[in-house]
């Protein structure tokens, strides 16, 4: 049997218990987290999303 980190196990149990409260509904979990965020009164900073590099549509690939 592989070694298990007790802290990781504790976090996984807490995460599962939290998700179970919402029947594993991600939308409900999101709403709850946003409500907690709002209730905290802390300023939330929105970071810009990372831009992914896209290939030029007009670029041609030369056989190599």
Q: What are the residue boundaries of the structural domains of the chain, listed by start?
A: 6-40
Q: Tokens 């999101």, residue? A: 30
Predicted confidence pLDDT, tens digits, the chain (64 residues): 688 999 999 999 999 999 999 999 999 999 999 999 999 999 988 888 887 766 655 556 666 5
pLDDT for the residue numbered 50: 83
pLDDT of residue 54: 65
| Cα–Cα distances in angstroms (integers) from residue 63 to residues 25, 40, 60, in the given order | 48, 57, 10
The predicted model scores a pTM of: 0.62
């Amino acid at each position: 049997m592989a070694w298990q980190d007790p802290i990781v196990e504790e976090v996984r149990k807490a995460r599962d218990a939290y998700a179970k409260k919402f029947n594993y509904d991600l939308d409900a979990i999101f709403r709850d987290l946003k409500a907690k965020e709002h209730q905290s009164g802390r300023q939330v900073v929105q970071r810009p999303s990372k831009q992914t590099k896209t290939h030029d549509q007009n670029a041609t690939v030369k056989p190599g």
